[in-house]
């Protein structure tokens, strides 16, 4: 057996088979050394007359999991991935890709260029480039349809989702699946191929399967709705159509050229920014990486209302036993029934089996007794948004819980320091702010109080990941980050109604920008009674104009509570589709007359700028105050919490691209128009502009 080190690729001989082992932790990314090492392995195979086949296998927990994202913004060193792919494709001896873990992106493209593909039954496969605004550029688009058919291939390319080994075997992506010992199984497979004559199978030589008439046009229409505003899925359809009628080498060259164009595109830059920002958000400012999270075995949720039910389901879905604490039997019974109803809905929709739903319900323990919390490691408080009520619950939890148990409040606006002061162990208090519906929304704003212990912060971040959320650490601030910024957008939307805009115009502008729903359609969905109650709770802290802008109160008083009553800002029929209502125009006209406000023509540009720049300005204040650690955290919060279009990178990335001098000029313009107290540029924006820098410089 000969062995030689080729940087991150080790090559050894087992009889007539060479084995190239990639070892580039943590995910065997396709760094330059890996690409060069694999090219050298192919050269060694062809130059060794005694070597009849090559097996490519990876050390560690996964097969090659894609490109090295650190190389995206740097000149690529040869050999590029395409050179490696071409070398594999024209190899004169069979090459077998042996896969475990995940084979993603460039890793899967390498496998597609091999003669054969084998994998462990636990392996998964995908082309996730589209999630970064990219598409495969090294043969994924021209090879995959030839192996598994156009429909299956387009689904993988345009959505970026993974498929399992069983599905991959059924569709023809894999030649064999193994239960265990991948290396031994791949060697045996290679030896069998050699014994049978060493046949070479080039995917590039396969014909393109027939595409049904109208299939691609139907996909374009589907993707226009499903991936609103995103370019890459539509370009994927174009490339698949091109591939079906173009000679292989020419099609491969056009695929690569398109990938290069997409790397430089604003959408890909924005999506790659978010990819990096989500990972950076897991690094907690001031908490060393070596701080170990506390062990969380059992969770309690205090408050079985709508939010509490959703939070409980998050933990049940992740396999945690949950104690549900209610204040009375009726309250608790409704909570348990609500949880069961949500799980049953998941069964009806095919998202889970009846057995899984029953299993989750068996892990739910309802109780009225705080004494039943003696073995709980984490409790999420989700009672009514009243400080006195929450402080009372906190004091009771403090008396009942073990010394190391964490108390996390789900409050949206209340002062977390006031809650922490109501317990004897304030170091155990933090915030875990879920968004409604809690079992659906991805964002989790974790909140640090002044005395929160570092391992508590590490724990709520770790737990957030385990329950499938995108956790972002924020600091003490009314409304934290998401709701504080949202309140400024809501303020301007209301002021714009006073100035002469209509609900439908404002909603159309903001949904046209890329939000999934406009603010007034959203208010009708939430309920005007809920909106009025939230406004009442914050009324004392509002400016005189905000206090006088009582359109929400007037709608609620008129019984126009939104979809639940068939009328709010809009009228609703049986189809629940919003329709403009002349009665709202009359209500707004009367409100303007009462307030002495003249109606004027409002442009779409003014709507967009006032609503969005108000948010960006508030975000700059949040960073300046230290309530958010970095601008990227705010981008992660808004793309995961309130539907800021991901292809625009989040409010801070978007503002940075516009240019902070332009943002500052617009803020000054609206300071003069609306009021300096609403649009005075934040100190951070002033200083960055003066220094010629942006949020990300």
**315/478 Cα distance (integer angstroms):** 27
Residues for the chain: how many in total? 697
Angle formed at CA 148 by CA 143 and CA 152, multiple of 5 degrees: 105
Q: In what order do the strands lie in the sheet with 364-367?
A: 364-367, 322-325, 299-302, 378-381, 406-409, 429-434, 443-448, 470-474
Are residues 170 and 148 in contact, defined by beta-carbon separation less than 8 angstroms? no
Q: What does each C-alpha distance from 277 to 167, 280, 634 come to in angstroms? A: 33, 5, 9
**294/608 Cα distance (integer angstroms):** 45
- Judge whether 109 counts as a catalytic residue: yes
In sequence order, the 6+-apart residues with CB closer than 8 A to the CB of 651 are 485, 612, 615, 616, 619, 634, 635, 638, 644
Token output for 466: 């385990």
In sequence order, the 6+-apart residues with CB closer than 8 A to the CB of 167 are none
Exactly one of 3, 46, 78, 129 is catalytic; which is it? 129
Token output for 29: 């990314």
Q: DSSP per residue over 655-692, as a string? A: HHHH-HHHHHHHHHHHHHHT-HHHHPPPHHHHHHHHHT
Cite the DSSP H helix spans in 527-644: 528-538, 544-548, 551-557, 582-595, 604-625, 631-641
- Judge whether 78 counts as a catalytic residue: no
Token output for 89: 């494709």
* Nearest of 626, 627, 694, 696 to residue 663 by alpha carbon: 694
Q: Are strands 378-381 and 364-367 parallel, antiparallel or unpaired?
A: unpaired
Exactly one of 12, 46, 109, 222 is catalytic; which is it? 109
* Nearest of 206, 234, 204 to residue 221 by alpha carbon: 234
Q: Are strands 443-448 and 470-474 parallel, antiparallel or unpaired?
A: parallel
Residues known to be catalytic: 109, 129
């Amino acid at each position: 057996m000969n062995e030689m080190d080729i940087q991150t690729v080790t090559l050894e001989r087992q009889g007539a088979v060479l084995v190239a082992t990639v070892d580039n932790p943590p995910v065997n990314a396709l760094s330059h050394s890996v690409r060069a090492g694999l090219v050298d392995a192919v050269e060694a195979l062809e130059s060794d007359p005694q070597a009849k086949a090559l097996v490519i296998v990876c050390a560690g927990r996964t097969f090659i999991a894609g490109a090295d994202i650190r190389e995206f913004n740097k000149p690529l060193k040869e050999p590029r991935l395409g050179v490696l792919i071409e070398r594999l494709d024209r190899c004169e001896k069979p090459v077998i890709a042996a896969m475990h873990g995940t084979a993603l992106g460039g890793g899967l493209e390498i496998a597609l260029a091999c003669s054969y593909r084998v994998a462990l039954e636990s392996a998964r496969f995908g082309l996730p480039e589209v999630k970064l605004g990219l598409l495969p550029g090294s043969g994924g688009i021209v090879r995959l349809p030839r192996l598994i058919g156009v429909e299956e291939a387009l689904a993988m390319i345009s959505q970026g989702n993974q498929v399992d080994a069983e599905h991959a075997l059924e569709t023809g992506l894999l030649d064999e699946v193994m239960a265990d010992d991948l290396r031994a199984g791949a060697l045996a497979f290679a030896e069998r191929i050699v014994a049978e004559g060493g046949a070479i199978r080039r995917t590039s030589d396969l014909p393109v399967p027939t595409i049904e008439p109208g299939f691609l046009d139907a996909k374009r229409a589907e993707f226009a709705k499903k991936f609103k505003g995103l370019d890459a899925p539509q370009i994927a359809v174009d490339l698949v159509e091109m591939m079906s009628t173009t000679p292989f080498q020419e099609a491969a060259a056009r695929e690569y050229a398109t990938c290069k164009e997409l790397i430089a595109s604003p959408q890909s830059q924005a999506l790659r920014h978010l990819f990096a920002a989500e990972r950076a958000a897991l690094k907690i400012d001031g908490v060393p990486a070596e701080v170990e999270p506390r062990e969380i075995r059992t969770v309690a949720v205090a408050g079985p209302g709508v939010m509490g039910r959703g939070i409980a389901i998050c933990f049940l879905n992740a396999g945690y036993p949950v104690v549900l604490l209610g204040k009375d039997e009726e309250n608790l019974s409704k909570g348990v029934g609500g949880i069961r109803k949500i799980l049953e809905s998941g069964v009806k929709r095919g998202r889970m089996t009846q057995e899984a739903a029953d299993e989750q319900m068996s892990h739910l323990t309802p109780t009225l007794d705080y004494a039943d919390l003696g073995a709980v490691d984490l409790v999420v408080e989700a009672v009514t948004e009243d400080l006195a009520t929450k402080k009372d619950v906190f004091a009771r939890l403090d008396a009942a819980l073990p010394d190391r148990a964490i108390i996390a409040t789900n409050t949206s606006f209340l002062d977390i320091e006031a809650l922490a002061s109501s317990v004897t162990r304030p170091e155990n208090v933090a915030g875990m702010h879920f968004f409604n519906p809690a079992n659906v929304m991805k964002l989790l704003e974790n909140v640090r109080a002044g005395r929160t212990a570092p391992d508590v912060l590490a724990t709520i971040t770790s737990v957030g990941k385990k329950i499938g959320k995108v956790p972002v650490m924020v600091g003490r601030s009314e409304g934290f980050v998401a709701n504080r910024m949202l309140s400024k957008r809501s303020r301007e939307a209301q002021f714009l109604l006073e100035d002469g805009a209509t609900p439908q115009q404002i909603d159309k502008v903001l949904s046209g920008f890329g939000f999934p729903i406009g603010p007034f359609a959203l208010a009708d969905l939430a309920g005007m009674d809920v909106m009025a109650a939230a406004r009442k709770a914050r009324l004392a802290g509002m400016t005189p104009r905000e206090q006088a802008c009582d359109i929400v109160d007037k709608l609620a008083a008129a019984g126009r509570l939104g979809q639940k009553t068939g009328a709010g800002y809009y009228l609703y029929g049986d189809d629940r589709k919003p329709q403009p209502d002349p009665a709202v125009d009359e209500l707004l006209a009367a409100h303007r007359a009462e307030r002495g406000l003249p109606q004027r023509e409002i442009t779409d540009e003014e709507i967009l700028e006032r609503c969005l720049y108000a948010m960006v300005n508030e975000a700059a204040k949040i960073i300046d105050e230290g309530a958010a650690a970095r601008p990227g955290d705010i981008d992660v919060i808004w793309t995961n919490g309130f539907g800021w279009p991901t292809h625009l990178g989040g409010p801070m990335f978007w503002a940075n691209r516009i240019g902070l001098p332009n943002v500052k000029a617009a803020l000054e313009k609206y300071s003069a128009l609306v009021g300096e107290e609403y649009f005075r540029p934040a100190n951070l924006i002033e200083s960055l502009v003066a220094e010629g820098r942006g949020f990300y410089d």
